[in-house]
Structure 1
């Protein structure tokens, strides 16, 4: 399995393309591309590696993780997939952008398929498993590949930190309990690819994260 990380938009957000080397099927996670050049960068990578996009997944639908979802959905002809619990965030996205002095590059695309806990997403010989870990947002998800021992955690878990919980629908208790019960039980060598910043491991976070 190959993993390509891009840092997109001013926040910046980690956008991941995860793909199978044999079939060239791939999944796009958190299309955060905001500027036209970022959109072209995403498309070029897909095109240059002859990839077929099977799924467009959102770990959650906060503004910074959603900038490029409309573009990616139209460009690759696939629906946005996200947890229904975050759907309310789409309605206020234009106003949220204005608070940061920004305009949305595109009107938010609707969720085309709702993701539930334990849903699976296959690309080639690999399968991502959805793990619901609310608290940063009501619909926050982690996508875990058990054979490769990698997880794409969005803003649930960072190296040495956790996602903020002071945004609408956030809950500190819910987030910390969810991480303890659903993520820290994964193998210690599981690599965590977060929505911002560098990757980490479950083992490192168990030993060093001050929130646990």
Structure 2
């Protein structure tokens, strides 16, 4: 394994913030720092990791609410999501008020990501897969070498992301899962934005929303 992964549930929504650390360089990316930043920083210290960037799958409050503050605290850049989520970033203060979260700051990512881009974590390269449906700018981070995908709120164990938010699209989401994620292989483990890990193979067999038998 070229990566070590730690999952820290953050915010009242128990969102899975992931720390991806390159085992060779000990450099790390923080994926979706929605809040509880002291817990994220403490985990980085426990791992002996040096955070070099923030990666965002999408810009809902529980995934992105702590982004601006963490980027400033650690002096690191923000990469992602795809620019279709700009309106969600601009709406972070309203999102925080609506859901009773601590105030969240608007920010501009240092790099917007596109389908088939790559991002690096130390010496490890991850593929960026644009997976709209839950939000228009949602992206997934995929390590072929580690057979691992960080999928945000696209897919869960036994479920899929909500599509009743502004610019959500159910058909688009199902297409993102079946056409872009499942072909990566049944043996790929994925870390969702909420809940336990699973594999694409398990979801192809058993997920009531996107299993193969649904046609």
TM-score normalised to structure 2 length: 0.91
Residue 186 (structure 1) aligned to one of 184, 189, 200: 184
* Higher mean displacement: 116-125 or 83-92: 116-125
Distance, in Å, in 1 between the alignment partners of 2:95 and 2:29 is 27
For this pair of structures, how many residues does the alignment match? 207
Distance, in Å, in 2 between the alignment partners of 1:102 and 1:40 is 16
Distance, in Å, in 2 between the alignment partners of 1:143 and 1:45 is 21
Distance, in Å, in 2 between the alignment partners of 1:50 and 1:123 is 15
Task: Identify the residue that residue 61 of structure 1 maps to in structure 2.
Answer: 59
Q: Secondary structure of 2:24's partner?
A: coil
Task: Identify the residue that residue 120 of structure 1 maps to in structure 2.
Answer: 118
Residue 7 (structure 1) aligned to one of 6, 9, 26: 9
Distance, in Å, in 2 between the alignment partners of 1:49 and 1:178 is 33
Residue 147 of structure 2 corresponds to residue 149 of structure 1: yes
Distance, in Å, in 2 between the alignment partners of 1:124 and 1:93 is 29
Please provide the CA RMSD for this pair: 1.3
Distance, in Å, in 1 between the alignment partners of 2:180 and 2:45 is 36
Q: Secondary structure of 1:170's partner?
A: coil
Distance, in Å, in 1 between the alignment partners of 2:93 and 2:146 is 38
Which sections of structure 1, spanning at least 5 residues, go unmatched? none
Q: CA deviation at 1:162?
A: 0.6
Residue 159 (structure 2) aligned to one of 147, 158, 161: 161
Provide Cα deviations, 1:50-83, integer angstroms capped at 9, x if missing partner: 3222321110001111121012211221222221
Q: Are the counterparts in 1 of residues 54 and 71 from structure 2 also a CA contact under 8 Å?
A: yes
Q: Secondary structure of 2:43's partner?
A: helix
Distance, in Å, in 1 between the alignment partners of 2:45 and 2:99 is 33
Task: Identify the residue that residue 99 of structure 1 maps to in structure 2.
Answer: 98
Task: Identify the residue that residue 75 of structure 2 maps to in structure 1.
Answer: 77
TM-score normalised to structure 1 length: 0.93
Distance, in Å, in 2 between the alignment partners of 1:210 and 1:63 is 27
Q: Are the counterparts in 2 of residues 55 and 121 from structure 1 also a CA contact under 8 Å?
A: no
Distance, in Å, in 2 between the alignment partners of 1:103 and 1:56 is 19
Which runs of at least 4 in structure 1 moved beyond 6 Å after TM superposition? none
Q: Are the counterparts in 2 of residues 192 and 199 from structure 1 also a CA contact under 8 Å?
A: yes
Task: Identify the residue that residue 18 of structure 1 maps to in structure 2.
Answer: 20
Distance, in Å, in 2 between the alignment partners of 1:22 and 1:90 is 33
Q: CA deviation at 1:211?
A: 1.2
Provide Cα deviations, 1:74-105, integer angstroms capped at 9, x if missing partner: 1221222221110111222222222223341x
